[in-house]
Structure 1
Amino acid sequence: MGAFLALWRICALVPGRAHLPGLFNRLLMFVTVGCMLQRNTRGNFNQSGLLLMHVNSRYRGHTENRRAVVRGVAGVMLMSLFHSSAQAQMALASAINRTARFRALSQRIAKAYCQLYLNVQPALARDVLLSARHLVATGGEELARGLNTGPWPPDVAALLGGIQKHVDVLNSVLTMPPTRESVRAVALQVDKILITANTTTEAIEKLSKAGPARLINTVGRQRMLSQRLAKNYFLVAAKLEETSTRQQMNADVVEFQSTLSSLVKLPITTTNIRNELTLGEQQWIFFEAALRNKPDESGLKNIATASERLLEVMDRLTGLYEGALRDVLG
C-alpha cells in the first residue's frame, strides 16, 4: 500500500496535478477490489463487498468451490491488467528519458564543436563530441525499435523519424573541420533537433497519462539547459551569438535554478536522489558563477569542465527518478 501512496504523492507534486492520473485510479481500484476479494475469501464478507453481491446472488445455489474459482479468475484478470498497465508505464518512462536526452546531446555536440573551434581543451572537446554522437546513434536505434509493449503510434514514429533526419544533416556538417561557417551551421541544426526532440518527448508524455512521467521530463530537461548555457557561452566567445542568445541564457539560468529548487523541496526522494540533488546544487553554484565571468581563456576552461560535471549529475538524477517510478510500478 505504501507504494501506491508514494505514487499519489508524486502525482500531487508535479505540474498538472489538478487531474488525478488514470494510472492511480486503476491502482486504487486494484487495491480496493483486491482487499474485497481477500475479505471474502476469509469469510468476512460485509457491505464493502457490494461489487461481488450480484455474482453471489446469481450463483447462490452453487458450491463454495465454484465461488472460489470465480474469485480466482477475477483476481488473475485484475493482476494481468495491472501488470500490463505497469509495464506500459515503465516502458514509456524509459522512452521519455531516452528521447529527452536528445535535447541535451544536441546542445552538447554544438558546445564541443565550438569548443574545438576556439581551441579550448581540444582533447576533452573531441572526447565529448565522440561520446555525444555515439549516444545519439545508439539512442536513435533503440527508440526506432519501439516499445517492448508494441510499436509507436504513427505520430510519434513520424517525430522520431524527423529527429533522425535532422541528425543525418548534422552529421554531414560535422565531417568538416570547425570553421566560423560550420560552427554557425551546427548551432542552427542542433536547435532543430532540440525542437523536434522536445515535441517528441511531450508526445510520449501524453501517451503515459501518468504524473510521474512529467517529472522525468522536467528533471531530464535540466541536462539540456546545462549544455545550452555552455554552448551559448562559447558562441558568445566566438562572436557567433544571435541577438537573442544572451536573453536565452538569462532565461535558462532562471529556469534551471527554479526547477532545482522545486526538486529539492519534493518530499518523495530516496537517499541516492537526495545525495545527487545536494551534489547538483554544489555544481550549479560553481557553474553559474563561471557563467558570470568573461569568456577569456580561464572562463572558457571552467565552463568546459563545469558543464560536463553538471550534466553527469543531472543525467544520474534523471535515471534515479526513472528508477523510483519503476519501483512504485514494479
Structure 2
Amino acid sequence: MLSISPLGAHHARRRTLLQLSAAALLCHSSGAAWAQSTPVTSLQMHRAARFRALSQRIAKAYCQAFLNVQPEDAAMAMASSRQLLRAGLQELGKQPWPDALARPLAQVRQFSEGLDTALPMPPTRQSVADAAVQADKMLQSADAVADGLQKIAPFSTDKLVSTAGQQRMLSQRLAKNYFLAAAGLESKDLREQRTADAAEFKRGLASLAASTVSNTTIRSEMTAGEMQWMFLEAALAREPDLRGLRAVASTSERLLGIMDNLALQYEVALKDLRS
C-alpha cells in the first residue's frame, strides 16, 4: 500500500494552498482589471434597476387591458415600458459583461424581444396568467442584473436610492396583483404577497421620510408620494370593482413617476453632499 509521510503530506497541502491562492489572486486581478477597463456608469445602474419595475408594469398594464379599465392608458403604459426596456438594453449593450451578469441580461433581452408573442392582443385570461409568470421571471433576472452591476461598480448605490427604486417596483406589483384578483387569477400566495408588499412600501416611505438628505424638490415629491399612497392603499382595500380598478390604475402610475424622480433626486443630492 502506498503511504505518504507527514512531511510529504505537509508539502502537498502547501502546494495545494499556494495553487488555490494563486488562482484566487488571478481571478481577483482579472476582475479588477475588467472593472477598470469598462467602468459601470450611474446611468447603467439606473437603467438596470428600472427593469424591475418595468417587468411588473408590463404585466399590470396587460391585465388592465384585459379588464378593459382605461384601455388607452394601459396601451400607453405597455408602449412606454417597451421603449424604456429597449433604451436600457441598448445602454447596457454598449460593452461586454462578465458571464454572471451577461446571462441574466440576456434573459431580460429575451423577454423584451418576445413581448409580441408573450402578450397577444386581445388578451385572454390564460395569456394574462402567462404574462404574470413571465414578468416574475424577468423580475428575477432584473434583480440579478442590478445586483451584478452593483458588485463591479466603482461606487455604491446609497440606501435612499435603492429604497426609492424598490418603491417603484412595489407600486407596480401591488397594482398587478390587484388586477389579477379582479381577473379571477388570485391565489393564496398572491394575497400574501400583496400584504407583504404593502407593509414593505409603508416601511420604505417611513425610511425616506426620516432621512436627513432633503431639499425642496425631495420634500415636494415625498408629500405627493405619501398622498398617492393613501389613495392607493384605500383602493387596494376595496373588493375589485370599477372604481377601485380605476383608482389603482391611476395612482400606481403616479407613484411610479414620483418614486422614479425621487431615486434620481436622491442620487443628485448625495453627489452634491460628497463633492
- Same-fold call, TM > 0.5? yes
CA–CA distance in 2 between the matches of 1:202 and 1:97? 12
Within the alignment, does 1:271 sit opposite 2:253 as a pair?
no
> Equivalences for 1:23-172 in 2 at 5 Å?
88=39, 91=41, 93-146=42-95, 151-172=96-117
Q: Which runs of 5+ in 1 are unaligned?
A: 1-83
Q: What SS class does the counterpart of residue 196 from structure 2 fall into? A: helix
Separation (CA, whole Å) in 2 of partners of 1:171 and 1:101: 21
1:242 aligns with 2:191: no
CA offset digits 1:165-196 (Å, max 9, x no partner): 23233332224320011111111101111111
Counterpart position of 1:176: 121
Q: How does 1:313-324 map to 2 (within 5 A)?
A: 313-324=258-269
Instruction: Give the Cα–Cα distance (whole angstroms) in 1 for the partners of residues 172 and 78 of structure 2.
Output: 12
TM-superposed CA distance for 1:286, in Å, is 1.1
Amino acid in structure 2 at the alignment position of 1:121: Q
> Identity of paired residues, percent?
47
Letter matched to residue 161 of structure 1: A
Q: Residue 167 of structure 1 aligns to which amino acid in structure 2?
A: S
- The 8 Å contact of residues 170 and 186 in structure 1, kept in 2 or not, is answered as no
1:206 matched to 2:151? The reply is yes
Map of 2:175 onto structure 1: 230
Q: Aligned partner of 1:319: which letter?
A: L
Equivalent pair of 1:225/1:256 in contact (CA under 8 Å): yes
Report the TM-score when normalising by structure 1: 0.68
Q: Does 1:291 align with 2:236?
A: yes
Q: What is the Cα deviation at residue 243 of structure 1? A: 2.7
Match of 1:308 among 253, 257, 264: 253
- Tell me what 2:27 maps to: none
- What per-residue deviation string (whole Å, max 9, x for no partner) do you get for residues 207-240 of structure 1? 2364544432222111000000000000000011
Higher relative contact order (CA 8 A, sep 6+): 1
SS of the aligned residue for 1:106 comes to: helix
Match of 1:216 in 2: 161
Once residues 231 and 218 of structure 1 are traced to their aligned partners in structure 2, the CA distance between those partners, rounded to angstroms, is 20
How many Å apart are 1:276 and its aligned residue? 1.0
Root mean square deviation of aligned Cα? 2.1
Q: Structure 1 pair 211/141, CA: closer, same or farther in 2 (3 Å)? A: closer
1:251 to partner: Cα distance: 0.3
> CA separation in 1, counterparts of 2:51 and 2:156?
22
Partner of 1:280: 225
Aligned residue type for 1:271? T
Instruction: Tell me if structure 1 keeps the 8 A contact 2:213–2:269.
Output: no
Secondary structure, aligned partner of 1:244: helix
- Provide Cα deviations, 1:50-71, integer angstroms capped at 9, x if missing partner: xxxxxxxxxxxxxxxxxxxxxx
Look up the equivalent residue of 2:88 and give its one-letter code.
G
Structure 2: segments with no counterpart, 5+ residues: 1-34
2:240 maps to amino acid: P
How many residues were matched structurally?
A: 240
CA apart distance, 1:88: 5.0
Q: CA deviation at 1:118?
A: 0.7
Three-state SS of the structure 2 residue aligned to 1:269 is coil
